[in-house]
């Protein structure tokens, strides 16, 4: 039994020595990869009817995916120390073989981040160029009324867009409505305004931008971008719940939402049909996965700063999820995300240090031990502060 424990201890110390020999940037990349795998394991067990839990879990997961690798890389003093009698050889830590891995990841991250910044600048310029609604006083009064209801004090501007889609971008402080919505009934216009204001109230656009940045950081791991899309779907349901409670007419809200979905639905000729080559075929699993991975990475290069809401899909999701659970999600989020963060730090955070020499001091009583320690500390401090006294040569004779 003792030999088995000794072998297990040697194996664990060898694993820590192998991780400790890695450069700091590679240790951070490894921590992010392990954390992404653990969070994916917990995310697959989310019940999508629990909207609050889904939103809270994915928000916390994106924050952890960014902070944990930074903690492992930039704060080496916070690592868990394992003391050993003799430090192993760490000559592998000075090898330049890991540098191409960093360059490969950094090149992809910088290119994805550049495309993200460029898309936000283009969207901001396009939203600024749209004409503002100035003649419809009743619509502007209802916008001000719903802003007061939701306690949104920042000034907003309504603009029209020729496309049948809605956009909002916090930096531009504008809400873009379809041009055809100016002639809709007042109830439909109110639902459009309330839903866009609910997105601004919950800061969904800010979380959307933050998740896009994290997805650029994890560009080789396409699961992060998939989790981002699922979080956007959760945002639609979360905003829908707040908008329904603000509208204070569930039946009228459902009827208005159904009418909006019918008005904004694309024509049947423009709907995308599945190509026969996209049908899953047996014996081509690897090819389909490679094609899917390539499509996910390519989608990162075409980010959408202000994703439009598909009211048809939203109405179908509401019909499929009539019973949404409203339980408190934060205890489960803390437990599951905390487990993933702890395991990621446990696998990549320990470091080896040599055991300091032991000083054997035998004292009779506890108070004598405390007194002697205090005496030795004061003596060492005095020796460091005061210079050594010159010796008299006559005393040596």
E strands, 236-318, are: none
Question: Is residue 278 domain-resident?
Answer: no
| The pLDDT of residue 62 | 94
Question: Is residue 384 domain-resident?
Answer: no
| The pLDDT of residue 366 | 53
Question: Is residue 187 domain-resident?
Answer: yes
190 within 8 A of 142, measured Cβ to Cβ: yes
Residues of the chain with pLDDT under 50: 269-270, 274-283, 365
Rounded to 5 degrees, φ, ψ at 125 are -65, -40
Q: Which domain holds residue 221?
A: 12-88+102-266+283-352
Question: Is residue 142 domain-resident?
Answer: yes
How many CB atoms are located within 10 Å of the residue 291 CB?
13
Question: Is residue 67 domain-resident?
Answer: yes
Burial class of 227 by CB neighbour count within 10 A (0 to 12, 13 to 18, 19+): buried
Rounded to 5 degrees, φ, ψ at 305 are -65, -35
| DSSP string for residues in 52-74 | HHHHHHHHHHHHHHHHHHHHHHH
264 within 8 A of 195, measured Cβ to Cβ: no
Give the CA radius of gyration of the chain: 31
- Report d(CA 240, CA 238) in Å as an integer: 5
| DSSP string for residues in 20-44 | HTS-HHHHHHHHHHHHHHHHHHHHT
User: How many domains does one find in the chain?
Assistant: 1
- Report d(CA 316, CA 215) in Å as an integer: 28
Question: Is residue 93 domain-resident?
Answer: no
| The pLDDT of residue 327 | 62
Question: Is residue 385 domain-resident?
Answer: no
- Report d(CA 350, CA 14) in Å as an integer: 12
| The pLDDT of residue 293 | 83
How many CB atoms are located within 10 Å of the residue 170 CB?
17
Can you give the pTM of this predicted structure? Answer: 0.79
- Report d(CA 189, CA 143) in Å as an integer: 10
Question: Is residue 372 domain-resident?
Answer: no
């Amino acid at each position: 039994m003792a030999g088995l424990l000794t072998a297990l201890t040697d194996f664990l110390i060898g694993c820590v020595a192998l991780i400790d020999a890695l450069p700091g940037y590679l240790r951070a990349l490894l921590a992010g990869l392990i954390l992404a795998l653990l969070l994916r394991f917990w995310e697959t067990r989310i019940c999508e009817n629990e909207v609050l839990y889904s939103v809270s879990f994915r928000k916390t997961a994106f924050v952890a995916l960014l902070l944990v690798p930074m903690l492992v890389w930039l704060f080496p003093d916070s690592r868990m120390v394992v003391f050993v009698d003799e430090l192993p050889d760490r000559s592998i830590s000075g090898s330049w073989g890991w540098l191409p891995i960093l360059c490969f990841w950094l090149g992809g991250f910088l290119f994805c981040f550049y495309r993200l910044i460029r898309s936000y600048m283009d969207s901001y310029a396009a939203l600024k160029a749209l004409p503002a609604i100035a003649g419809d006083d009743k619509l502007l009064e209802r916008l001000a009324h719903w802003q007061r209801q939701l306690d949104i004090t920042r000034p907003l501007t309504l603009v029209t867009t020729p496309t049948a889609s809605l956009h909002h971008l916090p930096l531009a402080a504008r809400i873009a409505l379809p041009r055809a919505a100016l002639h809709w009934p007042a109830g439909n216009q109110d639902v459009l305004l309330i839903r866009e204001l609910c997105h601004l109230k919950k800061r969904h656009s800010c979380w959307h931008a933050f998740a896009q940045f994290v997805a650029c950081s994890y560009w080789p791991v396409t699961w992060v971008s998939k989790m981002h899309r699922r979080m956007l779907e959760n945002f639609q349901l979360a905003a829908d719940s707040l908008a329904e409670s603000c509208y204070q007419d569930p039946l009228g809200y459902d009827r208005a939402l159904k009418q909006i979905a019918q008005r904004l639905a694309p024509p049947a000729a423009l709907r995308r049909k599945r190509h026969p080559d996209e049908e899953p075929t047996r014996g081509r699993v690897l090819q389909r996965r490679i094609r899917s991975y390539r499509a996910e990475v390519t989608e990162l290069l075409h980010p959408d700063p202000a994703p439009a809401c598909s009211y048809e899909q939203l109405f179908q999701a509401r019909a499929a999820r009539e019973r949404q659970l409203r339980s408190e999600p934060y205890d489960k989020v803390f437990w599951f995300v905390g487990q993933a963060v702890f395991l990621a730090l446990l696998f990549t955070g320990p470091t080896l240090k040599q055991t300091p020499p032991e000083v054997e001091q035998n004292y009779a009583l506890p108070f004598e031990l405390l007194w002697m320690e205090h005496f030795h500390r004061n003596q060492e401090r005095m020796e460091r502060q005061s210079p050594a006294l010159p010796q008299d040569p006559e005393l040596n004779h």
